[in-house]
Structure 1
């Protein structure tokens, strides 16, 4: 029983979403493509640049709630960047179709 609780605690505190690193990879691409600095995004989000650095370098994934905040911050900085982030991160889901739909 202790091992099960320990495993649950470890996964509970990881604060990640499935696909570790995907959000960071996409975020890095979008920031570079649209000339948005990590500091600019951090300032708009009201967080520290180190937090954005950890996402971009895939050291930590943002939570689902934070992904919404990132999208809103990108929308403030450059609406096209926000749209690209969502499309690349969510793929077909953002277009209203599930994977495998024809």
Structure 2
């Protein structure tokens, strides 16, 4: 399930934000001491939020699940293990959103 969702999201990001996606990927390919990709990450993030239909669907249709997952992470000091159920619900919602 998660591989399908990941593939859908990556393809949508690459299609809708090609320059930002490529710039971020190229920056991340640099050696760790040379890679300061904050600007590229910010540009990609901005494009995703405004131009990627799959992200907009997920953000709109799964807002409650996203808030639940974020609340779990805050409550559990970022423990991914303790928030697996919330993450699973969020990913199921997201897959349903992008599959419509």
- Is TM (by shorter chain) over 0.5? no
TM-score range relative to shorter protein: 0.3 to 0.5
Q: Going by fraction, where is helix more abundant, 1 or 2?
A: 2
Normalised TM-score (structure 2): 0.33
